[in-house]
Amino acid sequence: MTSPKRFDLLALFSIVYVAFLYGPVLLLPMFSFNDSIYVAFPLKGFTLQWYYEMVENTQLIKALNASLKVGIVSAFVSTVLGVLAAKAVTRYYLPGRGPVMGVIMIPLVIPSIILAIALLTIFRKFLDIDLSLWTVGASHVLVCIPFAMLVMIARLQGFDKSLEEASLDLGQGPWITFWKVTFPLAAPGIVSSLLLCFTISFDEYLLAAFLAGNDATLPLFIFSQLRFPNRLPSTLALGSCILVFSFVIVTFSEWLRRRGVPNESGGGIV
């Protein structure tokens, strides 16, 4: 159907494209091992100094703790909500499904800064809630729900409704059916959603910047370190750790999620 020459050109482009996608980010780990305070060529020599410096920073450990807490809680909550909502839209006939889905997907496209100030307004100007990690977590739940839901819709659409019906017809109650049929089938999607939502929350900067009050999450800590040129290398070390960590989690969850699920599902966004 196509000449081999065109194939090569497109393949070449794709390889260059992936290199472009990954190249800039790979500079962070590269310079994090560089024995120089400056992030510049030529490379000086290998060192682990910046990693030692990073581990000794107590503020960092505090921020890491905060991020882990927020990430775990918001991943859990948004996944539960995502599972319920995905089940509702895939299994039941819902009048007005389109507009409802439209609203749930808004956090995907709306600029984060608008979400951030809207939440800040409601928390501070209307409800007088003090900003804390809880307010950050709440905002992360909001942005994670669309992703959780899309992941779960793809998963639930992938399996046969008649499996559940068979269980119900054979006399099992809805709870048993859920635990013995629905849950095991949906489990890869659930795990994947938990991991993805955790990563989103763990890496999220802007909402946290507006809603964290005096507590800092890890991205806030990184941002604050960018002002100090002499801390740049240890910030690179921290960034590299986060990248590797996210990479492993996301690769695993993507693999889990996309195995055996038709590619078309997922709404084309995730």
Partner 1 sequence: MVSVASGAETPARPDSLWLRWRALLLRHEWIRGYLLLSPTALVMITMLIVPILGLFLLSFWTQEYFEIHRDFTVANYLKVLNVADNPIYGLLLLKSIRMSLTATIFVVVLAYPMAYYLAFRVTKNKLMWIILITVPFWTSYLLRVFAWKIILGYNGVINSGLISAGILSEPLEFLLYNPPAVTITLAHAWAAFAILPIYVSLEKIDRSLLEAATDLGDTPFQRFWRVTFPLSLPGVISATLLVFIPTVGDYVTPTLVGGTSGIMIGNIIQSLFGKANNAPLGAAVSIMSMISITIVVLGFIYFVRLLFGKHAIQRAG
Among positions 162-191, residues that touch partner 1 (CB under 8 A) are none
Segment near partner 1 (CB under 8 A), from 58-66, 67-75, 176-184, 198-206?
A: 198-206
Segment near partner 1 (CB under 8 A), from 55-63, 100-108, 155-163, 180-188?
A: 100-108
Chain residues 220-249 in contact with partner 1, contact rule CB under 8 A = 222-223, 226, 232, 236, 239, 242-243, 246-247
The residue type at 109: V
Q: CB-wise, 6 or 170, nearer to partner 1?
A: 6
* Shortest Å distance, C-beta 258 to partner 1: 6
State how far the alpha carbon of 266 is from the alpha carbons of 18, 142, 146, in Å. Answer: 22, 19, 11
Distance CA 184, CA 245 (A): 27
DSSP 43: P
* Shortest Å distance, C-beta 45 to partner 1: 15
| Cβ proximity of 40 and 192 under 8 Å | no
Chain residues 39-68 in contact with partner 1, contact rule CB under 8 A = 39-42
Which residues have CB under 8 Å from 74's CB, separation 6+?
A: 137, 138, 140, 141, 144, 197, 198, 201
Interacting residue with partner 1 among 108, 129, 168, 191 (CB under 8 A): 108
Query: Of the candidates 97, 259, 101, 86, which has an alpha carbon nearest to the alpha carbon of residue 182?
Result: 86
Q: CB-wise, 120 or 191, nearer to partner 1?
A: 120
Q: CB-wise, 194 or 232, nearer to partner 1?
A: 232
Interacting residue with partner 1 among 61, 117, 163, 166 (CB under 8 A): 117
3-state secondary structure of 159: coil
Give per-residue burial for 51-67: e unless 16+ CB within 10 Å, then b: bebbeebeebeebbebb
Distance CA 117, CA 5 (A): 52
Segment near partner 1 (CB under 8 A), from 48-56, 65-73, 157-165, 199-207?
A: 199-207
19 binds partner 1 (CB under 8 A): no
Distance CA 183, CA 190 (A): 9
* Beta-bridge partner residues of 34: 46
* Beta-bridge partner residues of 46: 34
Interacting residue with partner 1 among 63, 64, 66, 89 (CB under 8 A): 89
22 binds partner 1 (CB under 8 A): yes
Interacting residue with partner 1 among 48, 55, 61, 122 (CB under 8 A): 122
The site for partner 1, by CB under 8 A, has a size of 94
Interacting residue with partner 1 among 177, 193, 199, 234 (CB under 8 A): 199
- State both tokens at 249: 């989690």
